[in-house]
Amino acid sequence: MSANDRKTTDQHASADGSSKSNPAAVESSVADHVADPKRRRMLVGGASVIGGLGAVSLVVPLLGSMLPSARAKAAGAPVQADLSKLVTGQLLTVEWRGKPVWVVKRTEETLKHLDEDTERLSDPASDVESQQPEYAKNTPRSIKPETLVVIGICTHLGCSPSYRPDIAPADLGADWDGGFFCPCHGSKFDLSGRVYKGVPAPTNLEVPPYRYVDDNTIIVGEDSGVAA
């Protein structure tokens, strides 16, 4: 399994600067209205200090809002994932809202299996709307077919399933095409996170909101530029 790179996205704070104090303007205004040169110098100096303090007081809260706090991360700040080192067949885990989010680069063979034997699945067409965004309501349940992004928590009672991409292993049976197996009570999911019939888990694994920044970078917790 590759080393996992994970970092939170910057929190962009915007400010147009229109409400900031302008020391130069204050100086000019003071200078225009005081005739005595000595008194004028004193007032201009004082105005510069006051203007500078005003600028500092604006900058400090702005810097504070640009740093994602631990509380903001726990509450759901979006998480950026670098997929550049993820090779085919591997699974990368990133944490979002305290949950593991798996990114799996699927093989061509895996993608072919997703269309086979779908009658064994409880919700092959991802009709349960709560389990994925609209753009993941397709067979691979993803934006790009080869890359699955899914929350790694079993929809039965919340265990974390195991990633089992191996075909027909002895412990899972000859009809196992690769997927996720939850050892707690035996729920099985295919490599799209779709749950098999006859297991305790009621629904497919959940696909979180996400979007691509570029070919090798996704942001989990955002889609269409809006935090979920």
The binding site for ligand FES (CB under 6 A) comprises 154, 156-159, 182, 184-187, 200-201
Alpha-carbon gap, residue 176 to 106, rounded angstroms: 16
Alpha-carbon gap, residue 69 to 205, rounded angstroms: 29
Q: Which is nearer to ligand FES, 52 or 186 (CB)?
A: 186
Q: Which is nearer to ligand FES, 78 or 179 (CB)?
A: 179
Q: Find the shortest distance in angstroms from Cβ 195 to ligand FES.
A: 10
User: Any alpha helices (H) in 67-150, and if so which ranges?
Assistant: 70-75, 108-113
Alpha-carbon gap, residue 6 to 183, rounded angstroms: 27
CB 204 within 8 A of CB 194: yes
Q: Closest Cα to residue 136, out of 119, 150, 123, 122?
A: 150
Alpha-carbon gap, residue 192 to 202, rounded angstroms: 15
Q: Find the shortest distance in angstroms from Cβ 182 to ligand FES.
A: 3
Q: Which is nearer to ligand FES, 45 or 158 (CB)?
A: 158
Q: Find the shortest distance in angstroms from Cβ 9 to ligand FES.
A: 31
Q: Find the shortest distance in angstroms from Cβ 203 to ligand FES.
A: 12
Query: Which burial class, exposed, middle or buried, applies to 24 when counting CB atoms under 10 A from its CB (0-12, 13-18, 19+)?
Result: exposed
What would the two tokens of residue 224 be?
Answer: 């269409």
Q: Which is nearer to ligand FES, 169 or 198 (CB)?
A: 198
Q: Find the shortest distance in angstroms from Cβ 136 to ligand FES.
A: 21
Alpha-carbon gap, residue 95 to 111, rounded angstroms: 25
Q: Find the shortest distance in angstroms from Cβ 207 to ligand FES.
A: 18
Q: Which is nearer to ligand FES, 41 or 185 (CB)?
A: 185
Q: Closest Cα to residue 192, out of 130, 127, 124, 134?
A: 124
Q: Find the shortest distance in angstroms from Cβ 200 to ligand FES.
A: 5
Paired with 121 in beta bridges are 196
Q: Which is nearer to ligand FES, 44 or 159 (CB)?
A: 159
Q: Which is nearer to ligand FES, 148 or 153 (CB)?
A: 153
